[in-house]
Amino acid sequence: MERVSESDVTRLASVLARAFLDDPVTCWAFDREPTRLRTAARFFELRLRTLIPHELSYTTHDREGAALWALPGKWLVPIGETLRLMVLVRARRLPLVTRGLTMVERRHPREKHFYLAVLGTDPDHQGQGIGSALLRPVLEMSDSEGIPAYLETAKERNLAFYGRHGFEVTERLELPKGPPVWLMWRRPNE
């Protein structure tokens, strides 16, 4: 695994947009199907630019996927990024999306933890162990430093995958007029 750098942003934003094209929250927030791929790529570009400085974002040699983590205590989305993200949501959906994301954020644990903000693999390369490999560096750090990890997922099929890596569901939320989201916590292995 390699750390994500600024030179990877455009390529990985495109990879992540393809990976999340069918994600229930992506479809809910960016409801216009013809522009969803382009809008999602812009969203992931913003997330990459915010999270790269944490030096916990990893990719593969061939840039087939990425894991974007936030440092303990640094998981809140900066206000400037939040404003840029809101521009991506259609005006009539903005109150609904804002309410849903606020629900999720209010339940974000306050205990010290590593936060997996994004994990995605290009659809052509899924099922090859790339996601597991991308998780490994920070999960090893979590274990060695005794710091838990946290994530949210909107795909029920991801629960088993994350479960194999030690994550457990702590809560299931229903977004307003939207999909369920599962909140997951991982205690460090000692």
Q: What is the DSSP string of 18-66?
A: HHTTT-HHHHHHS--GGGHHHHHHHHHHHHHHHHGGGT--EE-TT--EE
Mean pLDDT of 93-112: 91
Mean pLDDT comparison of 25-29, 126-130, 183-187, highest-scoring range = 183-187
pLDDT for residue 85 is more than 90: no
Q: Number of folded domains in the chain?
A: 1
pLDDT for residue 98 is more than 90: no
pLDDT for residue 76 is more than 90: no
What's the Cα-to-Cα distance from 48 to each of 111, 122, 143, rounded to whole Å?
24, 16, 25
The closest of 147, 128, 129, 130 to 138, measured between CA atoms, is: 147
Residue 88 confidence class, pLDDT cut points 50, 70, 90? confident
- The overall longest dimension of the chain from CA atoms, in Å, is 48
- 3-state secondary structure at position 99: helix
Q: Which two tokens stand for residue 94?
A: 């903005």
The tens digit of pLDDT for each residue in 155-183 reads: 999 999 999 999 999 999 999 999 999 99
- Output the pLDDT for position 87: 82
On average, the pLDDT of the chain sits at 94
Provide the CATH number for the domain around residue 83: 3.40.630.30
Q: Which two tokens stand for residue 67?
A: 């894991």
User: Backbone phi, then psi, for 183, in 5-degree steps?
Assistant: -95, 130
Residues 125, 131, 132, 136, CA torsion sign:
positive
pLDDT for residue 112 is more than 80: yes
Provide the domain limits for residue 24. 2-186
Taking residue 118's Cβ as centre, other Cβ atoms within 10 Å add up to 21
